[in-house]
Amino acid sequence: MNFTHINEEGYARMVDVSSKNDSERVAVAQAIVKMQPETLEKIRDGAIKKGDVLGVAQIAGIMGAKQTSSLIPMCHPLNLTSVNLEFTFDEINASIIVEAEVKTTGKTGVEMEAITAVSVAALTIYDMSKAVDRWMEITEIKLLEKSGGKSGHLVRD
């Protein structure tokens, strides 16, 4: 079997992407943080004692995207051209939907960076709010959409 991340001697390697063409790459990912309705209200009202939960989560998500290659061993370091996070309050399900869009122009995609961004942002929401609600859940971390490269534009059903 030919493994892409194993060299001829059986050791780990980063895939050689030097022959790939540069293209605009975009990825969108999502995570959901479920919590008690009172916790959602406190976050929305800015009443969490640690401070601006979503403001800190926004910065943490951007930093997470930028550090992906330091966290995931075989990820290529990328020159990201844009990282944007959005937070949506879901009152019915007492949750916050975290969505990240990450862009670059290069030889490899930014799916891992988008997934890392929402994961780190969701973890930050938990960290900032855990004194109020230790049983929050981070769920549905997933890629929603990607474009660029050989596989083109793909959208989750």
Could you report the per-residue pLDDT of 12-31, keeping only the tens digit for each? 888 889 889 899 999 999 99
Rounded to a whole number of angstroms, the distance between the first and last alpha carbons of the chain is 32
Triad 28, 34, 39: Cα angle to 5°: 120
Short-list 49, 40, 29, 35, CA closest to 138: 35
If you average pLDDT over residues 34-46, what whole number do you get? 98
Rg (CA), the chain: 18
Sign of the C-alpha dihedral computed for residues 123, 32, 62 and 112 taken in this order? positive
Residue 74 annotated as binding?
Answer: yes
Sign of the C-alpha dihedral computed for residues 107, 109, 112 and 117 taken in this order? positive
Could you give the 3-state DSSP secondary structure of residue 81?
strand
Could you report the per-residue pLDDT of 52-103, keeping only the tens digit for each? 999 999 999 999 999 999 999 999 999 999 999 999 999 999 999 999 999 9
Q: Let me know how many helices (H) and strands (E) the chain has, helices first.
A: 4, 5
Residue 137: the pLDDT is: 98
Residue 15: the pLDDT is: 86
Residue 14 annotated as binding?
Answer: no
Residue 91: the pLDDT is: 97
Residue 116: the pLDDT is: 98
| Residue among 52, 127, 133, 157 flagged as catalytic | 127
The tokens for 134 are 């230790």
127 as an active site residue: the answer is yes
pLDDT of 40 higher than 80: yes
Residue 113 annotated as binding?
Answer: yes
Residue 14: the pLDDT is: 84
Residues comprising the chain, all counted: 157
Residue 75 annotated as binding?
Answer: yes
Could you report the per-residue pLDDT of 97-145, keeping only the tens digit for each? 999 999 999 999 999 999 999 999 999 999 999 999 999 999 999 999 9
Q: Which domains does the chain have, with CATH numbers?
A: 23-155 (3.30.70.640)
